[in-house]
Amino acid sequence: MAEFVEVENFLDGTAVERTRDEMRRAHGNPAALLGSPAEQTRAPSPRRATRIAISHATRAGVMQLLEEHRPRIEARFGRPLDGCEEPQFLRYEPGDYFVPHQDGNTPLIHDESRFRKVSVVILLSEQSDQPTPETYCGGSLVLHGPYGQPDERIALAPPPGTLVAFPSETTHEVTPITHGERLSIVSWYRSEGEQ
């Protein structure tokens, strides 16, 4: 079974609303893959989303919360962690997606992603089966089973403000958005001493 943990109310309701409002007012660019030039974001692409340029204060606040939660994440996954990468603020709109992939800590990759040990996704929007003005449809975070259990899939749709953490070598995806906008924050806890 895919290994993950949910931390409810990682961001409280006020922080979620403030961050969503800021993201909706801000500009962004196509989200690229680690080590990929921006030109590679054209279709066909493994990822279609917008990376939002957010204020330093908002980024710093999320970084502080991630650091405060680091001991709990270390204990949960049994991995020493040095810190985390600067968070990315992402908007997925209808038609946007991210194909099944791994974020790092895989033995055949020798770029910066090899230091990523635990991936985190902080959901800011509410998922719904029925379209409404304040929700999005589709856009599930789906974790795939570990090697040897390829058919296992866990679709997660936690409430806004929840942090989902999982080992960076876990195959996962964001299914295509069919309605609304999915706002989220992603980051990666790292350990450079453990390769």
pLDDT digit string (tens) for 22-35?
Answer: 999 999 999 988 75
Residue 93 falls inside a structural domain: yes
Whichever domain contains 54, its CATH number is 2.60.120.620
Cβ(88)–Cβ(51) under 8 Å?
yes
What pLDDT score was predicted for residue 37? 54
Residue 35 falls inside a structural domain: no
State yes or no: pLDDT of 177 exceeds 50.
yes
Strands (DSSP E) contained in 22-112 are: 28-30, 47-48, 50-52, 83-84, 88-92, 97-101
Residue 42 falls inside a structural domain: no
Residue 127 falls inside a structural domain: yes
Give me the chain's average pLDDT, please: 90
Residue 40 falls inside a structural domain: no
What pLDDT score was predicted for residue 195? 47
What pLDDT score was predicted for residue 41? 47
pLDDT digit string (tens) for 76-125?
Answer: 999 999 999 999 999 999 999 999 999 987 766 667 788 899 999 999 99
How far is Cα 122 from Cα 125, in angstroms, rounded to an integer? 9
- The residue ranking higher by pLDDT, 132 or 109, is 132
Residue 161 falls inside a structural domain: yes
How far is Cα of residue 79 from the mean position of the Cα atoms in its chain? 19
The number of distinct structural domains making up the chain is 1
Residue 185 falls inside a structural domain: yes
What pLDDT score was predicted for residue 151? 81
Of 165, 179, 159, nearest to 77 by C-alpha is 165
Q: Mean pLDDT across the stretch 24-50?
A: 76
Establish whether the linkage from the previous residue to 71 is cis, with ω within 30° of 0.
Answer: no
Lowest-confidence range among 5-9, 153-157, 190-194?
190-194
Containing domain of residue 84, as a range?
A: 5-29+47-190
pTM of the entire predicted model = 0.91
Residue 68 falls inside a structural domain: yes
pLDDT digit string (tens) for 134-175?
Answer: 999 999 999 998 877 768 899 999 999 999 999 999 999 999
